[in-house]
Structure 1
């Protein structure tokens, strides 16, 4: 464990909060249009991989005549990928 003050989580979070506040004071609040656009992008980031997984699972089921064997796992994989991507996108901002 290091005794350096840069490694202290409290100092790191305090600096992050200060930087966010400084950016808010410099730039101000986002417009309603920009917030709505971000919500739309977030929706597509989450929904698109889920739909791709669903359609690829249905295609695999039709190709191999397996009923619904591939649909659920592929949709779940797409759902997880979309959630992970959305999480990373929200935390990168």
Structure 2
């Protein structure tokens, strides 16, 4: 009684199959998103946190030797470098996330 006509039912099924096939073809065409790509991106994120942290620590060590004070320049600049590196990585990940979702909606 509440059943849809067979033609309409097949049409919905065909649309689902076509959408799934299009998604699969798009995934196969986008070969840059492989496991190696993911590992490379995680390495890139690690470097983007580590480099500012180490630069801050190095600058802090230099300042501690040049201008000794009761405060540790090394610790302050190490923390500042870590914050900058984490913020940069977070911003990059956020932009990639938005880009990925825009591609999925197209």
- Alpha-carbon deviation of 1:77? 0.5
Matches within 5 A, 1:4-19: none
Partner of 1:78: 81
- Alpha-carbon deviation of 1:68? 6.0
- Alpha-carbon deviation of 1:84? 0.3
TM-score computed with the length of structure 1 as normaliser: 0.67
Which consecutive segments of 4 or more residues in structure 1 shift more than 6 A? none
Partner of 1:53: 56
- Alpha-carbon deviation of 1:63? 0.9
In structure 2, list runs of 5 or more residues that go unmatched: 1-22, 97-106
- Alpha-carbon deviation of 1:64? 1.1
| Number of corresponding residues | 69
Describe the superposition over 1:41-63 as per-residue Cα deviations: whole angstroms up to 9, x where unpaired. 01001111110101100010011
Aligned mate of 1:37, from 29, 37, 40: 40
- Could you say which structure has the larger radius of gyration? 2
Describe the superposition over 1:12-64 as per-residue Cα deviations: whole angstroms up to 9, x where unpaired. xxxxxxxxxxxxx3235721111111011010011111101011000100111
In structure 1, list runs of 5 or more residues that go unmatched: 1-24
Pairwise CA RMSD: 1.7
- Alpha-carbon deviation of 1:67? 7.0
TM-score computed with the length of structure 2 as normaliser: 0.59
